[in-house]
Amino acid sequence: MQTRVCRLYAAADIRIETTELGSPGAGEVLVALAAGGICGSDLHYYKDGGFGPIRVKEPIILGHEAAGVVVELGEGVTGLTVGQHVALNPSRPCNACSYCSEGLYQHCLNMRFRGSAMRFPHEQGLFRDRIVIDAGQCVPVSDTVSLSEAACSEPLAVCLHARNNAGDLSGKRVLVTGAGPIGALCAAVSAEAGASEIVVTDLQDVPLKVAEAMGATETINTGRNAAAMDRFSADKGHFDVVFECSAAQPAIRGAIEAIRPRGTLVQVGVTGDVALPVNLLVGKEIAFRGSHRFHPEFAQAAEAISSRSIDVRPMISQSFPVEDALAAFETAADRTRAVKVHLTFAG
Q: 202 with 208: CB under 8 angstroms?
A: yes
pLDDT digits (tens, 9 = 90+) for 138-165: 999 999 999 999 999 999 999 999 999 9
pLDDT digits (tens, 9 = 90+) for 88-134: 999 999 999 999 999 999 999 999 999 999 999 999 999 999 999 99
pLDDT digits (tens, 9 = 90+) for 217-274: 999 999 999 999 999 999 999 999 999 999 999 999 999 999 999 999 999 999 889 9
Task: For residue 6, list its beta bridge partners.
Answer: 16
Which pLDDT does position 347 carry in this prediction?
A: 67
State what percent of residues in the chain have pLDDT above 70.
Answer: 100
Give me the mean pLDDT over the 271-279 stretch.
Answer: 93
Please give the backbone phi and psi of residue 287, each rounded to the nearest 5 degrees, phi first.
-85, 115
CATH for 159-290 (3.40.50.720, 1.10.490.10, 3.90.1150.10, 3.30.950.10) = 3.40.50.720
Distance CA 185, CA 213 (A): 11
Q: If we measure between CA atoms, which residue out of 83, 68, 72, 82 comes closest to residue 33?
A: 68
pTM of the model: 0.97
Q: If we measure between CA atoms, which residue out of 157, 341, 180, 335 comes closest to residue 251?
A: 180
Q: What is the DSSP letter of 39?
A: P
Delimit the domains of the chain by residue range. 2-152+312-344, 159-290
Give me the mean pLDDT over the 30-56 stretch.
Answer: 94
**CATH no. of 2-152+312-344:** 3.90.180.10
